[in-house]
A = this chain, B = another copy of it.
Amino acid sequence: MRGDNLREKLAHIVEHWSPQTVATVNDYDVRLAKVHGEFVRHTHQDSDEFFLVLDGELTIRMDAGDVVLGPGEIYVVPRGTPHQPSAATETSIMLVEPREVVNTGDAGGELTAIRDDI
């Protein structure tokens, strides 16, 4: 058999900023998201957050400066660090974080996504 193909999974994602779980590793999720525009600034007080850009370009704005990620580039936002992701064009990302982590962290609001898988 074949494994799951990330591009095929991404093809099923329509909504921006709404991560979908594509694999679980014990109590951690591997999630895919399509993003475009500005996300809400937020903090995950209890967890680091791993980003890998698959396509496009992601900017993570933090107080210490911006981190820019192109395809194949990774960054871990340390726990407790306010960050605002943004993407000038539609961008596909992969996230790794504990399954209980919510996308908007402590900010909440209308962009808060329900944990879901595809």
Which residue numbers of A lie inside 8 Å of B, CB to CB? 1-7, 22-26, 28, 30, 47-53, 65-70, 72-76, 79, 96-98
Contacts and interface: CB of A to CB of B under 8 A. Distances in A.
A22 B50 CA distance: 11
B24 A74 contact: no
Chain A's interface: helix, strand, loop or mixed, by majority? Answer: strand
A25 B50 contact: yes
Given A6-B52, A25-B96, 14 more contacts: A1-B66, A2-B67, A2-B70, A3-B74, A5-B73, A23-B76, A24-B48, A25-B47, A25-B49, A25-B76, A25-B97, A26-B48, A28-B28, A28-B96
B26 A67 contact: no
